[in-house]
Structures are given as structure tokens and as C-alpha cells.
Structure 1
Amino acid sequence: MGKAPITDVPSGVIPDGRPAAPHGLQVLAVTGLPEFRPGDDLAGAIAAAAPWIVDGDVLVVTSKAVSKTEGRLVRSPTDPGAREEFRRHLIDTETVRLVAQMGRTKIVENRLGIIAAAAGVDASNVRLDEIALLPEDPDASAAGLVREFAARGRRIGVVITDTQGRAWRNGVTDVAIGAAGVRVLEDHRGGVDDFGNELVVTQVGLGDEIAAAGDLVKGKLAGVPVAVIRGLDAPGVPEDGPAPSDHLAAALLRPYEEDLFRLGTDLSIAQGRKEAVLLRRTVRQFTGERVDDAVLARCIGIALTAPAPHHTRPVRFVLVREHRQALLQAMAAQWESDLAGDGWDDERIARRTARGQILNEATEVVIPFVTGEGRHDYPDDRRRQAERTMFTVAGGAAVQALLVALAAEGIGSAWISSTIFAPVVVRSVLSLPEDWEPLGAIGIGHPHESLSARPPFDPADGMLIR
């Protein structure tokens, strides 16, 4: 197939394809592209919109355009809260390793080996009922575009990009996640600079530089998903044999065992776990946003690892939903009766009970119990009381573990002692055995204000040495 004539060349482009300035580069936007949908011909649309593309040009294509045409769109709820929760579910699905987390923001390694926020799962620049995943194999997608243009008589390179933040620096930039037909990693190791110094570790991430350059004309809100870099003289894909490894974006991914910061990453996770303990605080105001059942179950599973006597598992957590209103009303009635028995008048009782609305306003209510499972029945009161205390302490350890696990997920909680004062009422409403002792109640929900770590107390205030 012969080369198509070069027409409609953007301003500043010399018709024979040479850059306007000697030894320079041009970055050109490809405008007039449609809103891509699954099954669309991406290469054909680019070729039609930019017939001025010439041999050696490099197409810089946003991954979103590739994902759309390859059908990497997932149907999503349109309610904002439900959509965000579904997005987080997709992030967990695409994640193979948690690298770092602060609040609900996760930096993870995804299935492609890319380390980025949210595993590349993106709800921007798509319809409100869809969420986009990254292409399944961006290098293969890039190679496909190179071959499509080769069939049209054009020798080009392709870099597929995604937007990422960078450690220790503000702002996001585009990076290469797929490539073909152009070198993306230039290795200067073993070379000598002008001063006679041998370069030992220098490798240049050309793919990321190309991606960032292309984004200068694509932008985040301009609706331009494709740019052309002219002046690199991309070699294209070889007709026979595999592509050189430094032409694949996979070459830009540093293996975990070679990562100079992996120890810092591991320590940051440990530090994050320590911080979660300090994030735990009593939250009294919740947004009303639904708490993911899977997250709640995961936190309860963590809590159940708390130590317990005699190799038993005496702690149970009851998620109260169907009987929640009945339970809270019965407990309120018990509370009012107790206060009246203490000689309080109706006005004082009303003021006091009005302050105890946290469980009513929480998104979920969980009641921890310690059962009689595995408890020894000693013949004397001293050891019977010690046994009871021991099991209560085990229950308290599990409660604290749950509160900390929730805080690590960015979820607020409030431990309320109320059920301890109404055990018979609680067991009756929830139809539970008589040896189940409630250890308060936990109001759970997304906090109205983000959790923030507080400094630990001075141990001198609560630590004695004898």
C-alpha cells in the first residue's frame, strides 16, 4: 500500500515531516477525534483525523482511549456514594500488593506490575454509569496500533500513557504504561561523560519523557486523547522477531527486589499500622455513606485474632440491622427507668438521654459479646471472678482491635458502654443465649471529618516502674 498524501498539516509543520527547528522536536495535538466506544477503530480514527502523520512519528495515546475501544469499561451505579464504593471494590480487585495507604487513599501494585494510586481504576472522562480499567496488555495494544499504521504505509511508534503522581513531588504527570516501535529506556551505564566520569546507574526513561511531552498538548480537560511527537524517528516494529526489550513499557518497571525504596515502603506500611492506633478516636458525627460490607467483615476478622484464654474463641460481634430500632428503643426505656429510679425528674432525664444519640445516627451498629465458651468453673469465688475478668479483658482486646482496624480503613467508630447496663434487654431483643455478655455497642460509619492521628500520651503519666 502506498503512502497517503500529507494534507492538512498543522501550522509549523514542514510538509516533508522534518521538525521546524533543526535537531528539535514538535508536539502536535490530534484534534477532531470522536468520543470512543467499545469496538471503535482507534487507529482508523487517528489516521482520518491526522492524515499528516509521517514515518518516524510517535503517537502518544491516553490509556482511556485504548480502554474504551477495547471494552475495558465496567457498568457502575450512578449514585455518587455507591459509585465510589464500587470504584473502591474494583481497586481491590485489580490490586496484587498494597504499597502504601493514608486514610482511604491507596498506592498499590496492579496486575500489570504498575505501582500507582487506585490501581489505574478511573471514573473520570467516562459516562456516569461506567468506570474504566486499564488495558489488559498496554504493550500489546501499542503494538497493534503500530501494525495498523504499518498497513496504512506509515512507520510509527506508539506510547500509551496514564496519569500518575510522584513520590515526594506535588502534581501529576503522564507516564508510559504501554509502548511499541520506539525506544522507551535509554541505558547510559558504562558510558563516559565529557569530563571522563564513567556512568554507573544512569538510565533515561524516554517513554515517560515522551508521555509527559504529549500531555502538554493533550491536557486533562481538553478532550484531546492523542498527540504526535515528531523528531524522534521511531523505528517501528520489526517485521521478523520480537521487539527489543527497551521498546516495551514493561522495561520501565523496576522489579521489587531491585527497588531501592522497598524497605522504606515496607516500613511505611508498618508506620501506617502504628498510625492507625493513633487515628482511633471516638467519632460522634457520620456522613451516612454506606460502609462496605466486605470492609466491615475484614475488620471483624482482624478483631477476632485478639488473644483469648485457654485457646478459646469466646468473642462474638453482632451486626444489628433488622432489630436495631427495637433494640435501641428497649435500651432507651431501660435507661430512662434506671434514671427515674435514681430520683431524676422527667426534664433531667430528657436532657441526659438526648445526648446519647450516637448509636441512632451511626451508619452501622455492632455489639461485641463475650460468651461462656471455654470458661472454667472454679469452686471458689476468687478464681471464678478472676476467670470472668480474664474473659472480659479478652473481649476488650478484640473490641480495641476492631476500632483500630476500622480506623486503618478510614472508618470512624464510637464505643458506647450502654449495653453493659442492659444485658437482659439486649439478649432478649436479639434472642441470644444467657451466657452471652454484651461489652457495650460500637457505632460505625464514615466520619464527618477525616480522621487524623493524635500524638501519643506521655508514658510518664500512666507508666510506673517498680
Structure 2
Amino acid sequence: MTLEILGVEGIPEIEAGADLGELIAKAGAYQDGDVLVITSKIVSKAEGRLLRAADREAAIDAESVRLVARRGPIRIVENRNGFVMAAAGVDTSNTAPGTVLLLPEDPDASARALRARLQRLTGRRLAVLVTDTFGRPWRNGLTDVAIGAAGLSALEDHRGRTDGHGNTLEQTVVATADELAAAADLVKGKTSGVPVAVVRGLGHLVTAEDGEGVRPLVRPSVDDMFRLGTSEALRQAVTLRRTVRSFTAEPVDPAAVRRAVAAAVTAPAPHHTTPWRFVLLESAATRVRLLDAMLDAWRRDLRELDGWDEERIARRTARGDVLRDAPYLVVPCLVTDGAHDYPDPRRATAEREMFTVAAGAAVQNLLVALAGEGYGSAWVSSTMFCRATVREALDLPDGWDPMGAVAVGRPAEAPRARPERSAEAFIAVR
């Protein structure tokens, strides 16, 4: 196979409304099966996507649908076409001061229109790629990728084929459009003034139909294991940490809970102590034994200490159903080994509170980490009201103080939307 990559020279500076197809057709000689790789910059200019904008950040905001990661002034975002890229593709290079160039509004539609125009003018069977420059996770440097395609399958699926050793390929899906975009950029370059290249010798890839465009290349965010930057992932996990009171029957992965506990025990603690223990109730029989013992203790206290009747007791104890219905429970416990012994009650109280705050920080870490694992949770305080009963039911040491219980499972339904809570109402500045 012989493969040629040829730069198309002589294309003038593009103005809004230009007949880009005609300019490209006149600038080169084309053959059946050629793939024309066109820099998005000239497509955007022809489509009038050059804007006067004193504030580039505002232009990025307008083109973005989701912040993926931010570090200093650099933003990686998802734009309206689903591309995850720096600055939503808003460009200020090779444009007049005070202007910004946006990506084509629909690059696939641009590719289809250019293909139709070029095939009509040249009489050739062609494919068209519209490309832009992207960075890549875990790799330094930039490369061109396809953001619009017509007349070419963006992906080539090799799954089910065999390699030279007879092994069946199970995962290999090649991003053909991106490979062509990167290869063509070797002759286009970033400063050469050659915005179009022809890839010749791959006519078997050119299809009669326009095809699906680049949509198959765009990984849905729900399938992207790295869809957020570190700080954004943490903020989203905190946001997702909503109290869940209804779970599916799907079993909870014990390894995921242990990873969450590993995050929990990174919480700050006084005096270089480790004042947390986490009791994992992985046995249904153990959960039932604990909850039945707690229910008996609650009923006794409400009847004897508070004088409640059975109907009122039933309504109050029904709140514990979230623990009984959950497929997994965690009982966090506070251990005050290492606490200082103060004879002064005020200082003794403060010492206990320091350890309690540390336990709360660990529980928050646990809940956030569980959200990151895709699990819902509900922290319920009930074990704190019958600690002796819990210690007896779970055979825990006397020094372990249960600090509530955490129900864990897959949420049975999406949490209701709630308005964003501003921090200002909770801040006092002195």
C-alpha cells in the first residue's frame, strides 16, 4: 500500500461567507478516494464564528456545558458537541486582537456540506474531515483530532478479527479519523499557512454515505472513568453525598466499602491518635440481630422514660426502616485511647469534643468516598442512643462508642434536585 499526504497550498485568508468548498476545489487536484483534512479554523471563519470579544473567559463560558478540570487559569471543559478540551476550543491565535474564534457550531454538518460541495465541483468521490488541536490525558504535546467527518467511518472495529498469531481481538477499536487527522497535520502544521491536506491511498475507507460523523468517537461522560479533574471529582462527590433512604437489592461490594474506610481514616485527629473503628455488617443475620436489639431498647425507653403509647412508638421507630432495608451497614465507632485526662470538667469536655469532631470528619470522608464508588448512604444517629445495646449485640469492646450507623447501597432512584446552597449565609468575617 502506498500512502501520500499532500498539503493544499494557495488557499487565501478566509472571510465570513466565503465559499470554502470552491476555494479548496480550485487550490488542488483531487482523485477518487481522497480524504480531505481541513483545519477547523478556516471552517469557523467561513461560517462567521469569528467574534469580537474582549473577555475570552466569557466566550469559553458560553461555549461550555461542563467544567471538567481547572488549574489556575487553564480550564478543561466539555463543549456543546461533547468534546472535552481546553477552553472549549475558543482560539485567539491567527486572529485580530480583540477577537476570538469559536469552533464550528456543528462540525459534522460542516463536513457534510463541504463534502457535497467539493464532490459536485470536482466530480470526485471524496471524504472530508474537519480537525482541531487537542491535548491528551497523560501525554505531553498536542495533536490534531477529527471533530467533524463525512464519507468516512470515524472508528474501525477490529473486534472478532484475529491477529498474526491467531488470537481473537476483543477490545481493538481504532480511531481512524483521529489517526488521519494527526497524519495530515504533519504537512499542515501550525504555522505553515497550509490549512488543508489530502490523504491519498486509502480510498477503501471512503463511503458512499456521509455516515455518523464523529459522534462514535465521543465517549459518553457516564462511561468515562476520568471525566473530572481531582478537585472537581472531590467537589462532585461531596455534592453527590446526599442522604439516600431507598436502595436497590444489589449487593454492596465489600472491597468498595474498604476503600471508603481507607479514605475515612485519613481524617484529622488529636494527639496523633487514630480514634476511629468501623464495624462492617456484611451478614444479614448480624444486621437483623443488631436492629432487633436496638428496636427493643428504643421501645422500652420510649415507653418507660417518655411515656409514649404504642402507636406513637411505632411511628417513631419506623424511621429506622432505612437501616433495615439497606443491603449493607457500617457502624462507625469512636475510640478515645490517647485522650488526655483533665480533672477540670471544662477541659475534659473539650477533649472529648476534639475526638468527636475527628470521628465526624472520618464519617464524612466515608460518605464522600462511598459516593465516589457510586453508592448512596444514609447516616442515622440511632446507635448513639443505645450504645451498650449495640456493643452487646456486636460483641464490641467497652471502649468503642458507636457513632450512629451508615446504610449503604445503590440508590433506588435519583435524588431530587435541590438549589445550590451559597456559602455566604454561613460565613462571618472579622
**TM-score normalised by length of structure 2:** 0.53
SS in 2 for 1:96: strand
Conserved 8 A contact 2:150-2:211: no
SS in 2 for 1:184: coil
Q: 1:58 pairs with 35, 38, 43, which one? A: 35
Q: Name the counterpart of 2:223.
A: 258
Does residue 41 in structure 1 map to residue 8 in structure 2? no
CA contact (8 A) 1:214 1:227 kept: yes
**Contact map agreement 1:156 1:234 (CA 8 A) in 2:** no
> What's the offset of the Cα at 1:237?
5.8
AA aligned opposite 1:163? T
Residue type matched to 1:226 in 2? V
Matches within 5 A, 1:50-449: 50=28, 52-77=29-54, 86-152=55-121, 153-233=123-203, 238=208, 243-245=210-212, 248-262=213-227, 265=228, 267-270=230-233, 439=429
Most deviating of 111-120 and 179-188: 179-188
Cα-to-partner distance string for 1:315-370 (whole Å, 9 max, x where unaligned): xxxxxxxxxxxxxxxxxxxxxxxxxxxxxxxxxxxxxxxxxxxxxxxxxxxxxxxx
- CA deviations 1:57-104 (Å, max 9, x no partner) are 111100000000000111133xxxxxxxx1111111111111111111
- Change in CA separation of 1:235 and 1:172 when aligned onto 2, cut-off 3 Å: closer
Change (3 A) 1:75 1:234: farther
Task: Provide the rounded CA distance (Å) in 2 between the counterparts of 1:203 and 1:237.
Answer: 18
Tell me the SS of whatever aligns to 2:24.
Answer: helix
**Equivalent-residue separation in structure 1 for 2:94 and 2:186 (angstroms):** 18
Displacement, 1:172?
A: 0.4
* Preserved CA contact (<8 Å) 1:166 1:172: yes
CA distance in 2, matches of 1:184, 1:119: 21
Q: Structure 2 unaligned runs (5+)? A: 238-427
Q: Residue by residue, what CA displacement relative to the aligned partner does 1:102-145 show, whole Å, maximum 9, x if unpaired?
A: 11111110001000000011111112232111001111111111
Structure 1 pair 108/89, CA: closer, same or farther in 2 (3 Å)? same
**TM-score, structure 1 normalization:** 0.49
Q: Is the 8 A contact 1:116 1:164 kept in 2?
A: yes
The structure-2 alpha-carbon separation of the partners of 1:221 and 1:266, relative to structure 1 and needing over 3 Å to count, comes to closer
Secondary structure, counterpart of 1:189 in structure 2:
coil
1:55 Cα deviation from its structure 2 partner = 1.1
Q: 1 CA distance for matches of 2:164 and 2:199?
A: 29
Residues 439 and 194 from structure 1, CA distance in 2 versus in 1: closer, same or farther, beyond 3 angstroms? closer
Q: Distance in 2 between matches of 1:148 and 1:237?
A: 16
Distance 1:49 1:124 in 2: 24
Cα gap change, 1:235 to 1:200, in 2 (>3 Å): closer
**Corresponding residue for 1:26?**
4
Q: Percent identity?
A: 53
The amino acid of 1:203's aligned partner reads V
RMSD: 2.2
Query: Residues 146 and 155 of structure 1 are in contact (CA less than 8 Å); yes or no, is this contact kept in structure 2?
Result: no
CA contact (8 A) 2:130 2:149 kept: yes
SS of 1:90 mapped into structure 2: helix
Q: Which runs of 4+ in 1 moved over 4 A?
A: 234-237, 271-274
| Alpha carbons of structure 1 residues 243 and 53: separation in structure 2 relative to 1, 3 Å | closer
User: Matches of 2:206 and 2:62 in 1, distance apart?
Assistant: 35
State the alpha-carbon separation in 1 of the partners of residues 207 and 95 from structure 2. 31
How big is each residue's C-alpha offset from its partner over 1:195-222, in whole Å with a ceiling of 9 and x where there is no partner?
A: 2222111110011111111110111111
- Tell me, in whole angstroms, the C-alpha distance in 2 between the residues paired with 1:87 and 1:56: 40
Aligned length: 240
Alpha-carbon distance between aligned partners in 2 of 1:48 and 1:190, rounded to the nearest angstrom: 43
Q: Distance in 1 between matches of 2:175 and 2:429?
A: 57
1:28 maps to amino acid: L
Go from structure 1 to structure 2 and tell me whether the alpha carbon gap of 1:186 and 1:439 turns closer, same or farther (over 3 Å shift).
Answer: closer
Q: Distance in 1 between matches of 2:231 and 2:202?
A: 40
Structure 2 letter corresponding to 1:233: G
Is residue 30–residue 227 contact of structure 1 (8 Å, CA) maintained in 2? yes
What displacement does 1:34 show? Answer: 0.4
Alignment partners' CA distance in 1, 2:222 and 2:236? 23
- Maintained 8 Å contact 2:155/2:173: yes
